[in-house]
Amino acid sequence: MEPNWQAGNARYNEIMNKILIVDDEPSIINLVSAYLKPEGYEVFTASDGLTGLKAARSFKPDLIILDIMLPGMDGIELLSRLRRESDVYVILLTARTEETDKIVGLTVGADDYVAKPFSPRELVARIKAAFRRLNAPAATENEILSFKRVLIDPGARVVKVDDAPVELTALEFDLLKALAENHGRVLTREQLLEKIWDSSYFGEIRVVDVHLGHVRQKLGVEGLITTVRGVGYRFEDEIN
């Protein structure tokens, strides 16, 4: 099945970000496209997993809206394959209500998710918030955060542990930076959502836990980020 491309009105969106919608329900594709095109986004669509994966590779979108329940290759498998070669921002769409399904999607590499039925306006708000972060210019004037084991360069968006570079996604970097900037202080999940996901976020608060789990795993050092039970998280590496 061939994917479809539609351009929005560029005057509303100077950067003209590209969005791929992968969903097997024509009504969902048409609804989401109808809300995105007036915002000036380039919209590409696919209605099955294999076509969606091919489209992601050829269209190279800035953001993907991905349904979990797809014919052939499901959304989780598509995302798993995609994460081997790309860190594109992915919002999952799912009709499933089980907590485990949401967490599995986030663990595999989704950045956010929206449960069906959903508000198209809410989805657009989340997309705009994501692009505000992704399109923000590098703040080269930001001070390098130097600790005993971890170095964070906000301008270059580089993280090193014991002088070895660590590859983090944009979300993971922002979470680590927010905690490091508040070294020794506890930040609640709500505060991290506000800082990283924007005040327009209406989803599952445990998205913070999943992404910080990825950060901890990639840093590979116990005790750098500690959990304060019932409150939030704290960055505890010693200052140089």
pLDDT in tens, 76-86: 999 999 988 98
Beta bridge partners of 152: 145, 159
Let me know if residue 71 belongs to a domain. Answer: yes
Please compute the mean of the pLDDT values over residues 218-235 and round it to a whole number. Answer: 91
**pLDDT at residue 235 above 80?**
yes
- Specify whether 22 is located in the same domain as 106: yes
Let me know if residue 140 belongs to a domain. Answer: no
Number of domains in the chain: 2
pLDDT at 19: 97
Percent of the chain with pLDDT over 70: 85
Nearest of 223, 212, 96, 215 to residue 148 by alpha carbon: 223
Question: Within a 10 A sphere around the Cβ of 239, how many other Cβ atoms?
Answer: 10
Task: Label residue 9 by pLDDT band (50, 70, 90).
Answer: very low
- Predicted TM-score (pTM) of the model is 0.70
3-state secondary structure 53-78: HHHHHHHCCCEEEEECCCCCCCHHHH
Instruction: Among 107, 134, 161, identify where a domain stops.
Output: 134
Please compute the mean of the pLDDT values over residues 95-112 and round it to a whole number. Answer: 72
Contact yes or no for 91/112 (Cβ under 8 A):
yes
pLDDT at 11: 40
Let me know if residue 115 belongs to a domain. Answer: yes
pLDDT at 70: 92
Domain that holds residue 120: 4-134
Task: Label residue 10 by pLDDT band (50, 70, 90).
Answer: very low
Instruction: Among 110, 134, 158, identify where a domain stops.
Output: 134
